[in-house]
Structure 1
Amino acid sequence: MGATFDDLGVSGGLPLEQRPGLLAALDALGRGDVLLIAKRDRLGRSVLNVALVERLVERKGARIVSAAGEGSDNDDPTSRLMRQIIDAFAEYERQVIRSRTRNALAAKKRRNERIGSVPLGCQLAPDGKTLLPEPTEQRVLDVLFELRGAGWTLRAIADELNRRGFTTRKGGRWWGSYIWLQLRRREDEENTNGRS
């Protein structure tokens, strides 16, 4: 074995340019070399990306071998078909996982349950799941959105909130970038609710 490459913590569904370990492995290949992989879906979770990797490996005069078998030991028509079916199932599985995740998050949102960190203007209910309004932060948000609606700039809004003595959740000063995050969150909520 010549060298070991990995993409720890990197999704196989990402484009090749975002897979540094795979790119390094491809770059290191020479004529007659073998790219040994644990399973075919480690090459990628997109039929197009896997086909591109195969083409790059072929051009270098190397070949791909899967430790799990998966039709990589031969280049006959049946083995090629088997590889393409495995690649298609890997892409399908990725899409199913993505769909289930999206649906689960949408269901949590409909139940007004927390997704990620507790947003400004909310507090966690005693059940540890549900979000409830946080009155002080809601007042700050009301002022923020009112000023933005009146055409104030992000910096002017931050300055005004600071002037009025409002602090961020952590007790800090307001900055334009934090104002922008709150506006973006509101816009995302409106877009999501508009689609439901």
Structure 2
Amino acid sequence: MANGKFVAYYRVSTARQGVSGLGLDAQREAVTRYLNGGAWESVGEFTETETGKGADALARRPQLRAAIELCRKTGARLLIAKLDRLARNVAFIAGMMESKVGFVACDMPEANELTIHIMAAFAEHEAKRISERTRDALAAAKARGVVLGATGPANLKRNIQDRQRAADEFAANLARTITSYRTAGLTQRQIVEELNRTGVTAARGGRWTLGQLQRVLARLPSSIPV
């Protein structure tokens, strides 16, 4: 059974979410489930309302800085409800590792700092490559004369064929990423969250949903676990 000192850190992305509690209750529940009645001593709880983006994540998160400092002073472990509440990019994870503060993501408690660092590096690299390949595929379709979004009779059949081809290519480009996430033990819902977190857009440029991921999985070879 888990034991020791802990500092809980929760983060919501907008002021509206911070006021409404959207997502905050779920994060607290995840931490409670992880503790599960163990011999833990709470030495602090911090809630961050983060707005906007920037290169320096810690500069935008005074509550996280305070939580890390309290962990240093007390020897406590930092608890985060979900991995995506902490792991934003490689540089940020590297900074956390250098802080010498132990942390646990309650949705992936078996993942250590090295595992998370590797996942962040891979996700950051793959997000860039997938975006580039998707942009190139759309440019190639346009060069073939496909009028994207057109539904007229003269263009309908060709558009359907090109959409099917583009969907197959898009799924193939994601195969390695999805395989790595499944190997790391992520569920389909966690994969959706990770794709959205790392900035990988869905086939039509929007955010991922579980249904969209399942349609991509249906186009992948049967050797890839779904």
How high is the TM-score relative to the length of structure 2? 0.35
Pair member with larger Rg: 1
Structure (1 or 2) with the greater strand fraction? 2
